[in-house]
Structure 1
Amino acid sequence: MKESSTSALLHRLFNSNDLENFFECNADAMQTPEFHAYIQNLCGELKLVPEQVIRYSGIERTYGHQLFNGTRKPSRDKVIQLAFGFALDLDGAQRLLQIALKSPLYPKIRRDAAVIFCIDRHKDFWETQSVLHSLGLTLLGGE
């Protein structure tokens, strides 16, 4: 079955008279991959190894490996840290948050705006922590 864009899926939902039938007909398009499988695949796509991503994310090594093997579920901050570890752009970071079922970065929130700024400027995790600290904002992982 072909992959559906969100807007096409939304259009089909609005035009559907039967929600159960909609779910049945669009089940493949509505699947969200498991977070650990997604980040493992992302490593392969970006030619990175989990150890590199964990180190660049500033996440404790054991905890990071638990995220990659699926024994731990990440907090929103850990997902953002992984976005830095993968050196993702804003769309990639938002997708990572979506896969983890966490709220997206929102520019009306000062801390999120600072994180968005840093992602856009290709700052690494440690530079981002410095920016957050200089603005008096909560550091990533300080939840």
Structure 2
Amino acid sequence: MKDQTRPEMVPGTAALLERLFKTASFDHFLQQNEQAMQPEPFHLYICAMCRQKGLVREHVIQRANIERGYGHQIFRGIREPSRDKVLQLAFGFGLNVPEAQRLLRAAEKSPLYPRLKRDAAILFCINRGESLVQMQLLLSELGLSPLGGAEC
């Protein structure tokens, strides 16, 4: 399915990288590609994901175990979520590993890194399609901090 949130004239990442490496001047590159370098606001990305997956925000928030009011603030763009909250949303959406990594990128958060024990445990659970609760139990068993402490 084609991503309808991006205009046709916006190049993909590979094309943008090729343009960057071929340009004679960084200023020229910025002038020609500034629009392509503007990330989509995270709240619009997750709203589009709800539509694409046929999900209701409320259900995603519940499955993500995020406080209801705070979750709706994220979906309205009032609050910017922490990396942990984005990961909770990944479980709320039921994402696979590539989708979860894209969600983190859309939120401008660092991707899950398998050399970090906590990240590896989260990746393991996402890959197996486990629930947030199952993942939190694994983190607890390993003596690692759970996702989503404070709502700030």
> Shorter-normalised TM-score: what interval?
over 0.9
Counterpart residue number, 2:28: 21
Counterpart residue number, 1:71: 78
Residues 120-135 of structure 1: pairs in structure 2 closer than 5 A: 120-135=127-142
How many pairs are equivalent?
143
Long gaps (5+) in structure 2: 1-7
Question: How far 1:18 sits from its partner (Å)?
Answer: 1.6
Length-normalised TM-score, structure 2: 0.89
Q: CA RMSD in A?
A: 1.3
SS at match of 1:139: coil
Q: One-letter code of the match for 2:61?
A: I
Show structure 1 runs of 4+ deviating over 4 A.
none
Question: How far 1:7 sits from its partner (Å)?
Answer: 2.2
1:44 corresponds to 2:51: yes
Residues 98-113 of structure 1: pairs in structure 2 closer than 5 A: 98-113=105-120
Matched residues, percent identical? 51
Superposed CA offset, 1:86-125 (max 9, x none): 0111111111111111111011100000000000000111
**Which deviates more from structure 2 when the two are superposed, residues 90-99 or residues 107-116?**
90-99
Superposed CA offset, 1:24-73 (max 9, x none): 22234323110111111110000001000000001111110110011111
User: For the residues of structure 1 that align with 2:48 and 2:36, how far apart are their CA atoms?
Assistant: 19
Length-normalised TM-score, structure 1: 0.94
User: For the residues of structure 2 that align with 1:45 and 1:5, how far apart are their CA atoms?
Assistant: 20
